[in-house]
Structures are given as structure tokens and as C-alpha cells.
Chains A and B, each alone.
Chain A
Amino acid sequence: MAKAGISSYGAYIPWHRMDRGLFANAWGGFAIPGEKAIANYDEDSVTMAVAAAMDCLSGLDAHKVDGLFFASTTSPYKEKQCSAIMALTLDLRRDARTADITTSLRSGTTAMGLALDSIRAGTAESVLVTASDSRLAAPGGMLEQTLGDGAAAVLLGNEDVIAEITDSYSISDDLAGTWRSYEDTFVRSWEERMVLDEGYLKILPETMAGLMKKCGLGPKDFARVVFDPPGDLRRHGRVAAGLGFEPSQVQDPLNLFMKVGITGAAMAPMMLIAALEEAKPGERILFACFGNGADAFALEVTEAVEKIGERRGLKGCLDSKRMLDNYQTYLRWRDLVPQEAARRPEKQHISLSAVWRERRVILGLWGIKCRRCGTPQYDNGAMSTTPIRVCAVCQAQDDFDDYCFARRKGTVFSYTQDRLAAVVDPPASVVLVDFEGGGRAFFDLTDRDPDELEVGMPVEMTFRKVHFDRGLSNYFWKAKPAR
């Protein structure tokens, strides 16, 4: 069996957080301690997966990636592949294999297992797996407080492996403690006591024990045991203790729970990244994830873990945050209450043909660099000006190289805070961005505190959902303050 494992990782946590007390204030009842991460109004599981994937691919050649799996229980589509959107956004090869692995809370680890199989079978050398979720709970319940939004990405491959995956074991079970049908907006759940006692506390240990038996290892052979918790964190400790792990071996979910919440299919992978950020060469990690059965993996950390390049990781986004101070903003961002429409023109219907024609420009943030005068240019579309056929500086025609702006830093050349524009989070902060290396374009500024905006402010680009029309999510890029 060829050596295969994790060769890179990345994470994403939305910048906005809410104290759980705000939910209790709104509805009464008990406030669970801590905060939860809230996707901005322009974020969803696809945009968060892209952010984690970009982090994961930092410094790597995207063209070497042979496959991409998007794992989530909150795909924006029943029929349309999100990984195909992401492949364009991340500039993967056209023949990179894409798939969406959805509907189960363990779809992230399932995707990892499938990717691993593909690498071991030799049909791919590297596969990018993203796990991302933004699950919606009905207002007023405990789930509303515990669920949080986030994403993780791991690159699986057979080169520069930082953690070899030596074995894996899965079992399938029909018991689902939470579910959503095609008709459901909110997560449904059965009585938690039954689900925990008959599901979490039995199926997860069974799987982890099965893995240890399969690879002939015991609890003492692992430096770390990493698996996702239920809303009641005490049960997490009970599973570990029941299997014979010492508390010091357990990747404590408390930090993530207190700062982010339970992030669905992304939860276990995010905890794995937290463990990898601290891992030492030679350490074994037992990694598992619960959901309609469970997946378990045995990992062995390699020397390469110490040479992994710069990235934001989980550490980099855990404490970068802005606290929302009211529940109404949350309701508005999740579109949970009807609101008075602004007296402004409604957005036009999306033209599928126009979006498809300009897919690289829109999804990949590809512009041009003039071969004659060397000026990089990006045009996000006035009425009639895309694609760029004539250089804005020297008028050279069609003599360009492709030039991607997605990872370019920029500075704010000028801006406005527009209170007339009909936006979900007024004022509309519009910035004119000058990119390092050349090129300028207007963008909406997101994840910003309106008061911090000034001329000269450094910004970076972020992939967001800008419009939703007749079932189509319209993704594009915005600027955000560099953090």
C-alpha cells in the first residue's frame, strides 16, 4: 500500500461572532457559555470552503491537484456541483476530478477516506478535501446557540506528507440524531438523551476500537485522540475515557466550542487541524468523526510537519473576530425575518450565459497583463466592457497574458460609505483598490468595521456570495481588510 496522508491543511472561521447570551436574551431561557461564529450575510458553505482551501493551497501549485471534494450538509444546491464552482475559483486543472459529498455530518471524513482510496489506488496523486458547514437552527432552541459556522481543508497526497494515514475504519448506521428533509430550513433533532446513549456513546467507540483492533494499536500508542463532540461536551470525555485514553491525550473540543460552536461536517476536520498545528514528528493521532455511523483514521506525524509553510490555519482565525452586539443583525443576515425593501432598483436577474462566459473572470478573479506595456488589469464589468480586448494603457489588442488577482494584496485608494445603496449590512463600504504590482478595481468591502476604513488601508480579496436569484447563487470576490 502506497504511503499516503495529509500534505497540507487550511482552515476558515468567519470573522463575526456572537455571545450565546444574545440568543437567551432574545428568547429567554438558558445561555450556554461562550461564543459562536456567524457566517457573514455574504458567506455560505461554498465561500467558507474556498477560504479554507486557499489557506491550504498557500504556496502550492493548484495545477498539481488532481481532485477536489466539497463536503457539507449545507450545500446551496440540490442539483448543481459546488466543487465545480470551487475548481474554477481555485484555478484547478480542468481534468481535476470534482465531487460533492453531502448530507452526513461525517461527509468531511468520508471525503477524506475516498480521497485516500483514490491516492492509494494510483488514480490521483493529490486530492483537496474541504469540509464546510453553516447549519441553521430554528430560532429559540438550544441548537441555535451551539451550532457555529466554519470550514477546514486538507490536501491528501503521497508527497510532502506531514501526517501519514496508516489505516482507516468505518461503520455505517442509520441512526441520525439530526436531519433535514428537502422541505426543512432548520435542523431537526430527536430527544438528545436517546441519540447520545444509543448513538454517540456506542457507535463512535465501536468505530475507534475497531480501528485500533484493525491496526493492532492500543490507546497508549497514540499521542492524541481527536474526534468531534456533541452539544453536551461531557459525553466527549466519556467516550475517550471509556476507550482508555487519558485526558492529556484528548484533543479538547472546549476551545473550539467556546469560540466557534459545533461546525457540522467541518467540526472533526477543524479539530484535526488544531491537533496538527501542535503535532510533533513521530506522534500517532487517532482521528474520528461521528454521523450516521462513524469514520476513524490512524495518523502518524512525519518530520515534514515542522517544515509546513506559512498559513492562517485555525490559530490564525480563532481570535480574529468582531462581536455582533445584537440578535436582529443575525436574523437579518440569515434572512429569517421579512424586511422592508429599500426604495432602490431591484437587482437584475442573473444571466447564466453571461456568468458562464466570464466564469474565470468572475469566479477566479482572472484579469490580464498586457504583454506590451506590462500593466495588470482587472475588469469586473461595467455595462459592456468585458472581456478586456484592448489594453487600457497602451491600446494593445488581444496581446495579453492571464493574470490572477485572487491572492494579490491591495490598498484602498479611495472609498465611500454609501447609505443609499440597498445592502444587507449598511452602509455599503465601496473601495477603489490599487493592487500590489499594478491594476485597480472597485470592490465591495466586507468583514469590515465601517469606522476602521481609511485611504491607504491594506486589503485582501475574499470569495463571497453576492446575489441569489431564481435558485442561483452568484459568487464573486470582495475586498476585506487584511488581517
Chain B
Amino acid sequence: MPGSIKDKVAIIGMGCTRFGELWDKGPSDLIVEAVNEAYADAGVEEKDIEAVWVGTLFSGFGGRSVSEPLRMQYKPVTRVENACGSGTEAVRGASYAIAAGIHDVCLAVGFEKLKDAGLSGVPGMQNRTNTHYEQTMPGIFAIMATRYFDRYSLSPEDGKTMLAKISVKSHHNGFLNPKAHLRRELTVEQVLNAPIIAWPLGLFDCCGVSDGAAAAVVTRADMAKKFRPDPVYIKALQICTSPTSGRLTTDYDYTHVEEAYRAGIAAYAEAGVNNPRKEISMAEVHDCFSITEAVTMEDLQFSPRGRVREDIEAGVFNLDGELPVQPDGGLKCFGHPIGASGIRMLYELYLQLQGRADKRQIKDPKLGLTHNMGNEPYAPTVSVAIVGL
């Protein structure tokens, strides 16, 4: 009988840098700033931290990637990596250590310094034989959009318009967020007229490539109120990893992400959520591309299969909608410093639950969900976390 994380771990402090092309900031600037904010928010100091987990994909190796900039004094520090889901993986490591009764106060940090690479986009995956097809991340998700349009008989215009509305919504939210990378309102026409990056995805279907860091201090649920009156409790923390069969066999439809669906089911069960559409107040999902957000709405059972378009049209996921998604702008506008993103998602839900989200404040949220996805649609590790008061 598997155990449950529900209500065993609380988040008592969080920090997050502004995300963006931070040419004048190095990794240590980002880490120190995010961790200082989290410490101050929790009312703790480094001496209170018993163990640390850090998530980064490209920007550091080993525990030293965070102990070194902070000159942490002989703490147990573990670097974790689960592709774009590395941030959530750091929270998971820290939370499980608390839930296991090994530690009382732990720190999770995620960071990435992408913009020192001098590249467009993020580095791709290559194999040692160089026989891989020409893969970029926009391309590999564009293939999902092509398939989605074909399967549900959407013309390129209708399909792209559906996706454009996702980006317009996220840009509206990001515009309201002082820490977001891309702060600019967009119209559907602007999205549709943007240059194509990987057909059918255009520039504004793609998330920001950003530098940034985020951090969370977690503790035992029964200790949380010693630190603050409004801790945020972890209700579910599930991940699901792909056998990566979908690129070898013809069974995979490439219009959904099975791992997201399964992680969602597991998280709902852990949190005791029966009707996600009604019970989840808000969600931060891994909208690396507009199409990813679209299928994720279906994978997480917010929308019926093949019918997310109706909910997008109806404004369900808008800030003032029935189930606001990406209230902080999402990867799309807040940006995507890979290792930081999972923790950045939690940061927004944490602020929202505490009523600290300023112009983006959602009325009286109860449960928030994060969906953090690493690797391609046919090969991901997807984590779904649910938090609440």
C-alpha cells in the first residue's frame, strides 16, 4: 500500500528572481537572490536548513552548484535532473525527506543560466552517432500540433487560432506580473502573423528562453505554523516517466501525453480530488509551447478529449475564467529557465493561495496544480503537484 504525501509537508517560504535575458547576472546572483527571498519569507537562516536539493539541467553539476555560490557549510546537498522537470524534482526530494521523518527543514532550489550560450532556443539532444534527425524543441512539439490539427479536422487557420488564444491569455497574465520575462499584451492577429519557427508553431507559440532561479523552504506540516500563519500544504506530488515507446510503435496518437494523464490521475487520487475541473482552482502547466498547454488541459481532464478548443473559446482558462491557467504568465511569458520552472509554478500558486498575487489575484483559490514536463511528448517525465491551504 503506497503512502501519501498529503498534508505531511508544508511550504513555508518561497523566492523567485525575475526571469529574463539577464545579461548582467550570473548563476550565483540568481541563486543567492532566490534563496535569500525564500529564507526571508520563511523567517529562517541557512543554519536552519538541514538538507538541500537543487535542480538544474545545463547550468551546474553536483551539489556544489548551489553550495558553492551560497558557501553553505557542509550540508547534504543533492543535485537532481529530470530534464525540464528538474525543479519539481528538487521539491520532491526535499519533501520526501521531510515526509520520511529524516529532516525537519529542507531547501529546494531550481536555476538555469541559459542565455550565456549564444544560441537561439535551447541546446538540442544529440546522440554520439549524429544520426538523430534535425530536432529542435519547437519542431518536436510542432509535430504534435500537426497531428492534433489532423486528428480533430482543424484547418491550419482554425488550429493556429486556437493556439493563438492560449498565448494571448498567457501574455495578458504575464503583462500583469513584474517578475515575468515577456511583459506585453498580444492580439490573436499578432500571434498569427508572427514568423514561423517550426510549422505550425510561430514565434508566439513558443515560451521564453530565460535565466532565473526559484527556491522553496519546506518543513513538517505539524511544524509549519511555527514559521508562518498561512503555510501552503502539499496535497499530491506524483511523477510518471515514459517507456518512450511512442516513437517506435504506431499505437501512440501523438495528440496527448499519456504520462501527464497518468500523473494527473495519481495526483488526484493522492489529493482526494474527484472532479478536477471543479475542484482545482487554478493551474500552472508546462506550456513550453501553446500546443502543450492545449493537450495538457485534456490530459489533466480539465477538458474532454479533442474539445479543449471549446473551453479556450469560452475563456475557461483566463484569469477571470472558471479555471485560471498560467495566472503568472506561464512558461510562455514568465519564461523558462529550465531547472527553475517547476518551483516558479509553485511560487505563483503559493502567492495566490496566500492572497499575495496582486493584480493577478484569483478569488479565494483552494487548490492549485502544477504540471511540469521534461523531454519530448513521446518520452517525458511529467510531474503533477497539488497544493492547498
Contact A345–B123 (Cβ < 8 Å): yes
Bound form: Cα–Cα A432–B135 in Å:
12
Interfacial chain A residues near B130, Cβ < 8 Å: 347-348, 350, 466-467, 469, 474
- Given A354, A392, A421, A432, which contacts B143 in the complex, CB threshold below 8 Å? A432
Contact B250–A392 (Cβ < 8 Å): no
Contact A421–B135 (Cβ < 8 Å): yes
Contact A377–B150 (Cβ < 8 Å): no
Interfacial chain B residues near A160, Cβ < 8 Å: none
The verdict on A389 contacting chain B, using a C-beta distance below 8 Å, is no
| Chain B positions 216 through 248: 1 when the CB is less than 8 Å from some CB of chain A, otherwise 0 | 000000000000000000000000000111011
Question: Given A345-B123, A417-B198, is A440 in contact with B131 using a C-beta cutoff of 8 Å?
Answer: no
Interfacial chain B residues near A343, Cβ < 8 Å: 118-120
Interfacial chain A residues near B117, Cβ < 8 Å: 345
The verdict on B155 contacting chain A, using a C-beta distance below 8 Å, is no
The verdict on A324 contacting chain B, using a C-beta distance below 8 Å, is no
| Chain B positions 131 through 143: 1 when the CB is less than 8 Å from some CB of chain A, otherwise 0 | 1111110111011
Interfacial chain B residues near A430, Cβ < 8 Å: 133-135, 139, 143
Say what secondary structure dominates the interface of chain A: loop
Contact A344–B248 (Cβ < 8 Å): no
- Given B131, B146, B248, which contacts A377 in the complex, CB threshold below 8 Å? B248
Chain B residue nearest to A393 in the complex (CB): B249
Bound form: Cα–Cα A415–B135 in Å:
12
The verdict on B144 contacting chain A, using a C-beta distance below 8 Å, is yes
Bound form: Cα–Cα A422–B251 in Å:
31
Question: Given A383-B127, A419-B198, is A413 in contact with B250 using a C-beta cutoff of 8 Å?
Answer: yes
Contact A444–B139 (Cβ < 8 Å): no
Number of residues from B at the complex interface, CB < 8 A: 46
The verdict on B275 contacting chain A, using a C-beta distance below 8 Å, is no
The verdict on A192 contacting chain B, using a C-beta distance below 8 Å, is no
The verdict on A169 contacting chain B, using a C-beta distance below 8 Å, is no
Bound form: Cα–Cα A383–B83 in Å:
13
Interface positions, chain A 340-388, Cβ under 8 Å from B, are 342-345, 347-348, 350-351, 354-355, 358, 362, 375, 377-383, 385-386
Contact A419–B245 (Cβ < 8 Å): no
The verdict on B197 contacting chain A, using a C-beta distance below 8 Å, is yes
Chain B residue nearest to A379 in the complex (CB): B248
Interfacial chain A residues near B131, Cβ < 8 Å: 362, 380-381, 466, 474, 476
- Given A378, A417, A467, which contacts B248 in the complex, CB threshold below 8 Å? A378
Contact B136–A375 (Cβ < 8 Å): no
Contact A442–B133 (Cβ < 8 Å): yes
Bound form: Cα–Cα A383–B374 in Å:
14
| Chain A positions 410 through 438: 1 when the CB is less than 8 Å from some CB of chain B, otherwise 0 | 00011111111111000110101010001
| Chain A positions 19 through 45: 1 when the CB is less than 8 Å from some CB of chain B, otherwise 0 | 000000000000000000000000000
Bound form: Cα–Cα A421–B319 in Å:
35
Say what secondary structure dominates the interface of chain B: loop
The verdict on B100 contacting chain A, using a C-beta distance below 8 Å, is no
- Given A348, A351, A455, which contacts B146 in the complex, CB threshold below 8 Å? A455
Bound form: Cα–Cα A350–B197 in Å:
28
Number of A-B contacts (CB under 8 A): 157
Contact A377–B249 (Cβ < 8 Å): yes
A416, A428, A469: most-surrounded residue (chain B CB, <10 A): A416
Bound form: Cα–Cα A438–B250 in Å:
7
The verdict on A15 contacting chain B, using a C-beta distance below 8 Å, is no
Contact B129–A351 (Cβ < 8 Å): yes
| Chain B positions 248 through 287: 1 when the CB is less than 8 Å from some CB of chain A, otherwise 0 | 1111101000000000000000000000000000000000
Contact A474–B197 (Cβ < 8 Å): no
Number of residues from A at the complex interface, CB < 8 A: 53
Contact A382–B379 (Cβ < 8 Å): yes
The verdict on B193 contacting chain A, using a C-beta distance below 8 Å, is no
The verdict on B1 contacting chain A, using a C-beta distance below 8 Å, is no
Bound form: Cα–Cα A287–B181 in Å:
71
Contact B247–A419 (Cβ < 8 Å): no
- Given A354, A416, A419, which contacts B129 in the complex, CB threshold below 8 Å? A354
Measured CB to CB, the closest approach of chain A to B91, in angstroms, equals 25
The verdict on A219 contacting chain B, using a C-beta distance below 8 Å, is no
Bound form: Cα–Cα A54–B258 in Å:
40
Contact B142–A416 (Cβ < 8 Å): yes
- Given B147, B199, B243, which contacts A392 in the complex, CB threshold below 8 Å? B243
The verdict on B196 contacting chain A, using a C-beta distance below 8 Å, is yes
Question: Given A348-B126, A350-B129, A466-B130, is A441 in contact with B120 using a C-beta cutoff of 8 Å?
Answer: no
Using A342-B120, A422-B134, A439-B248 as known contacts, list a sample of 10 further A-B pairs with CB atoms less than 8 Å apart, ordered by residue number in A. Answer: A350-B129, A380-B133, A382-B132, A393-B245, A415-B146, A418-B197, A420-B121, A421-B198, A427-B198, A442-B135
**Interface residues, chain B, CB within 8 Å of chain A?**
117-121, 123-136, 138-140, 142-144, 146-147, 150, 195-201, 243-245, 247-252, 254, 379
20 interchain pairs, CB-CB under 8 A: A344-B121, A358-B129, A362-B131, A377-B249, A382-B247, A386-B127, A392-B245, A417-B198, A419-B195, A420-B121, A420-B136, A420-B138, A421-B136, A422-B134, A423-B134, A438-B249, A438-B250, A439-B248, A439-B249, A476-B129
